[in-house]
Amino acid sequence: MIELTVNGQKRQIDADGDTPLLWVLRDDLGMTGTKYGCGIAQCGACSVMIDGTVTRSCVTPVESVASAQITTIEAVEADPVGARVVEAWVKHQVPQCGYCQSGQVMAATSLLKQKAKPSDADVEAAMTNLCRCGTYNAIKAAVRDVAGLAATQEHGA
Amino acid sequence: MTEWTPLDPALAKVLPTGEPVNVSRRGFLGAASASALVLGFGLPVGAARAQAAGAAPAVVPGTRVPAFLAINPDGTIRLQSPFAEGGQGVWTAMAQIVGEELDADPATFVVENAPTGPDYQVINGKMRITGGSMSVRSSYDTMRRLGASARAMLIQAAAQRLSVPASALSTQPGRVVHQASGRSLSYAELAPHALDLPAPTTPPTLKDPKDFRWIGKPQARLDVRAKSTGKAQFAIDSKVDGMLHAAVQHAPRLGLAVGKIRNEAAVKAMKGVHSVHVLDGAVAVVAPRFWHARRAVEAAQVDWVEPTGASYRPMPATFSTADHAAHLATVQGTEEVAETAGDVAKAFADAGAKGTLSATYHSQYLNHAQLEPPSALARFNADGTLDMWFPNQAPDMFLAEVAKVSGLPPEKIRIHSPLLGGFFGRHFLYPKGNPYPQAIELAKRVNAPVKLIWTREEEFLRDPLRPMAAVRFRGAVDANGMPLAIEAVSATEGPREGIADKRSGEIDPTALEGLAGKSYALPNKRIAQIFVKSPTTVAYWRSVGNSMNDFFYEAFLDELADKGGQDPYAVRLHLLSGNARLTTLLKAVVDLSGGWKRGPFTAPDGTTRARGMAMASPFGTQTAAIAEVSIADGQVKVHDVWQAIDPGSIVNPAIITAQVNSAVALGLSQALIEEAAYKNGERVARNFDGYPILTPDRMPRVHVRIVESGEKMGGIGEPGLPAVPPAVANAVSRLRGQRVRTLPIGTLS
Domains of chain B from N-terminus onward? 9-228 (3.30.365.10), 235-309+374-453 (3.30.365.10), 321-366+466-736 (3.30.365.10)
Structure-model confidence comparison of residues B292 and A120, the more confident one: B292
In this complex, do A93 and B658 lie within 8 Å of one another by their Cβ atoms? yes
- Position B12 scores a pLDDT of 32
| Chain B residues whose beta carbon lies within 8 Å of the beta carbon of residue A127 | 696
In this complex, do A130 and B688 lie within 8 Å of one another by their Cβ atoms? yes
> Which among A31, A39, A100 has CB closest to B455?
A39
In this complex, do A98 and B421 lie within 8 Å of one another by their Cβ atoms? yes
Residue B598 has pLDDT above 60, yes or no: yes
Q: Which of B30-39, B94-103, B409-418, B577-586 has the weakest average pLDDT?
A: B30-39
User: What distance in Å separates the CA atoms of residue B143 and residue B97, rounded to the nearest whole number?
Assistant: 6
| Chain A residues whose beta carbon lies within 8 Å of the beta carbon of residue B245 | 27
Residue B146 has pLDDT above 70, yes or no: yes
Residue B157 has pLDDT above 50, yes or no: yes
Residue B30 has pLDDT above 60, yes or no: no
Among A21, A99, A123, pick the best mutation site for testing chain B contact (most B Cβ within 10 A).
A99
Sign (positive/negative) of CA torsion B294, B298, B299, B300? positive
Both ends of chain B: CA-CA distance in Å? 78
In this complex, do A100 and B665 lie within 8 Å of one another by their Cβ atoms? no
> Which among B230, B291, B699 has CB closest to A73?
B230
Per-residue 3-state assignment (H helix, E strand, C coil) for B317-343: CCCCHHHHHHHHHHCCCCCEEEEEECC
- Position A151 scores a pLDDT of 66
* B569 within 8 A of B596, measured Cβ to Cβ: yes
pLDDT digits (tens, 9 = 90+) for B660-711: 999 999 999 999 999 999 999 999 999 999 999 999 999 999 999 999 999 9
| Chain A residues whose beta carbon lies within 8 Å of the beta carbon of residue B366 | none
| Chain A residues whose beta carbon lies within 8 Å of the beta carbon of residue B221 | 93, 95
For chain A, give percent helix, strand, coil, nearest 5. Answer: 40, 15, 45
- Position B749 scores a pLDDT of 86
Question: B655 vs chain A: nearest CA distance in angstroms?
Answer: 9
> Which among A38, A132, A137 has CB closest to B370?
A132
Question: A157 vs chain B: nearest CA distance in angstroms?
Answer: 5
pLDDT digits (tens, 9 = 90+) for B308-347: 888 999 999 999 999 999 999 999 999 999 999 999 999 9
- Position B193 scores a pLDDT of 81
| Chain A residues whose beta carbon lies within 8 Å of the beta carbon of residue B231 | 33
- Position B124 scores a pLDDT of 84
Q: What is the CA radius of gyration of chain A?
A: 15
The fraction of chain B above a pLDDT of 90, given in percent, is: 89
In this complex, do B695 and A128 lie within 8 Å of one another by their Cβ atoms? yes
Count CB neighbours of A61 within 10 A: 15
| Chain A residues whose beta carbon lies within 8 Å of the beta carbon of residue B661 | 134-135, 137-138, 155
> Hey, what amino acid is at B705?
R
- Position B23 scores a pLDDT of 25
| Chain B residues whose beta carbon lies within 8 Å of the beta carbon of residue A72 | 230
Distances (CA, A) of B498 to A114, B233, B235, B519, B680: 51, 32, 27, 27, 21
Residue B37 has pLDDT above 80, yes or no: no
- Kindly identify which residue of chain A lies nearest to residue B292, measuring between CA atoms: A19
* Residue-wise burial string across B565-589, b where 16 or more C-beta atoms lie within 10 A, e elsewhere: ebbbbebbbbbbeebebbebbbbbb
Among B221, B371, B721, pick the best mutation site for testing chain A contact (most A Cβ within 10 A).
B371
Among A14, A27, A97, A111, pick the best mutation site for testing chain B contact (most B Cβ within 10 A).
A97
Residue B364 has pLDDT above 80, yes or no: yes
- Position B55 scores a pLDDT of 53
In this complex, do A76 and B658 lie within 8 Å of one another by their Cβ atoms? no
In this complex, do A101 and B289 lie within 8 Å of one another by their Cβ atoms? no
Asked if this assembly's ipTM is beyond 0.95, the reply is yes
Q: Which domains does chain A have, with CATH numbers?
A: 2-75 (3.10.20.30), 76-147 (1.10.150.120)
pLDDT-derived band at B458, boundaries 50, 70, 90: very high
Residue B170 has pLDDT above 70, yes or no: yes
pLDDT-derived band at B46, boundaries 50, 70, 90: very low
User: What distance in Å separates the CA atoms of residue B544 and residue B390, rounded to the nearest whole number?
Assistant: 23
- Position A68 scores a pLDDT of 97
Distances (CA, A) of A143 to A34, A150, B224: 20, 11, 16
pLDDT-derived band at B192, boundaries 50, 70, 90: confident
Residue B36 has pLDDT above 70, yes or no: no
- Position B41 scores a pLDDT of 44
| Chain A residues whose beta carbon lies within 8 Å of the beta carbon of residue B689 | 40, 42
Residue B49 has pLDDT above 70, yes or no: no
Residue B52 CB burial class (10 angstroms; 0-12, 13-18, ≥19): exposed
* B319 within 8 A of B434, measured Cβ to Cβ: no
A3/B contact by beta carbon, under 8 A: no
Question: B512 vs chain A: nearest CA distance in angstroms?
Answer: 26
- Position B195 scores a pLDDT of 67
The verdict on whether omega for the bond into residue B600 sits within 30 degrees of 0, i.e. cis, is yes
Q: Are strands B678-679 and B682-683 parallel, antiparallel or unpaired?
A: antiparallel
| Chain A residues whose beta carbon lies within 8 Å of the beta carbon of residue B367 | none
pLDDT digits (tens, 9 = 90+) for B602-630: 999 999 999 999 999 999 999 999 999 99
- Kindly identify which residue of chain B lies nearest to residue A152, measuring between CA atoms: B701
Closest by alpha carbon to B181, among B193, B191, B169, B173? Answer: B169
> Hey, what amino acid is at B329?
A
- Position A152 scores a pLDDT of 56
User: What distance in Å separates the CA atoms of residue B523 and residue B525, rounded to the nearest whole number?
Assistant: 7
Interface of A with B in 60-79 (CB under 8 A): 72-74, 76-77
- Position B393 scores a pLDDT of 97
- Position B348 scores a pLDDT of 98
pLDDT digits (tens, 9 = 90+) for A95-147: 999 999 999 999 999 999 999 999 989 999 999 999 999 999 999 999 999 99
* Mean pLDDT for all residues in chain A: 95
Residue B28 has pLDDT above 60, yes or no: no
> Which among B239, B371, B423 has CB closest to A100?
B371
pLDDT, average across residues B547-558? 98
pLDDT digits (tens, 9 = 90+) for B130-144: 999 999 999 999 999
pLDDT-derived band at B2, boundaries 50, 70, 90: very low
- Position B34 scores a pLDDT of 34
Spell out the long-range contacts of B573-581 with Cβ–Cβ below 8 A and sequence spacing 24 or more. Answer: B574/B482, B575/B483, B575/B520, B575/B521, B575/B522, B576/B519, B576/B520, B576/B521, B577/B521, B578/B521, B579/B519, B579/B521, B581/B622, B581/B646, B581/B709, B581/B711
In this complex, do B229 and A140 lie within 8 Å of one another by their Cβ atoms? no
The fraction of chain B above a pLDDT of 70, given in percent, is: 92
A128/B contact by beta carbon, under 8 A: yes
Residue B658 has pLDDT above 70, yes or no: yes
* B620 within 8 A of B647, measured Cβ to Cβ: yes
Closest by alpha carbon to B229, among A98, A11, A43? Answer: A98
User: What distance in Å separates the CA atoms of residue B653 and residue B708, rounded to the nearest whole number?
Assistant: 10
pLDDT digits (tens, 9 = 90+) for B223-276: 999 999 999 999 999 999 999 999 999 999 999 999 999 999 999 999 999 999
User: What distance in Å separates the CA atoms of residue B515 and residue B494, rounded to the nearest whole number?
Assistant: 13
pLDDT, average across residues B590-598? 98
Residue B38 has pLDDT above 80, yes or no: no
Among A63, A132, A146, A153, pick the best mutation site for testing chain B contact (most B Cβ within 10 A).
A132
- Position B57 scores a pLDDT of 62
* Mean pLDDT for all residues in chain B: 92
In this complex, do A134 and B663 lie within 8 Å of one another by their Cβ atoms? yes
In this complex, do B223 and A98 lie within 8 Å of one another by their Cβ atoms? yes
Q: Are strands A69-71 and A53-56 parallel, antiparallel or unpaired?
A: unpaired
pLDDT, average across residues B137-166? 95
- Kindly identify which residue of chain A lies nearest to residue B221, measuring between CA atoms: A93
Question: B288 vs chain A: nearest CA distance in angstroms?
Answer: 9
* B699 within 8 A of A136, measured Cβ to Cβ: yes
In this complex, do A95 and B227 lie within 8 Å of one another by their Cβ atoms? yes
- Position B31 scores a pLDDT of 36
Residue B43 has pLDDT above 60, yes or no: no
Q: Which residues contact B403 (CB under 8 A, 6 or more apart)?
A: B409, B410, B413
pLDDT, average across residues B414-429? 98
CA B568 from chain centre, in angstroms, equals 32
Interface of A with B in 85-104 (CB under 8 A): 86, 89-90, 93-102
Residue B158 has pLDDT above 60, yes or no: yes
Count CB neighbours of B366 within 10 A: 27
* Residue-wise burial string across B148-178, b where 16 or more C-beta atoms lie within 10 A, e elsewhere: bbbbbbbbbbbbeebeeeeeebebeebbbbb
Question: A139 vs chain B: nearest CA distance in angstroms?
Answer: 9
In this complex, do A155 and B701 lie within 8 Å of one another by their Cβ atoms? yes
| Chain A residues whose beta carbon lies within 8 Å of the beta carbon of residue B371 | 35, 37, 43, 45, 97, 99-100, 130-132
User: What distance in Å separates the CA atoms of residue B247 and residue B375, rounded to the nearest whole number?
Assistant: 10
A135/B contact by beta carbon, under 8 A: yes
Question: A112 vs chain B: nearest CA distance in angstroms?
Answer: 16
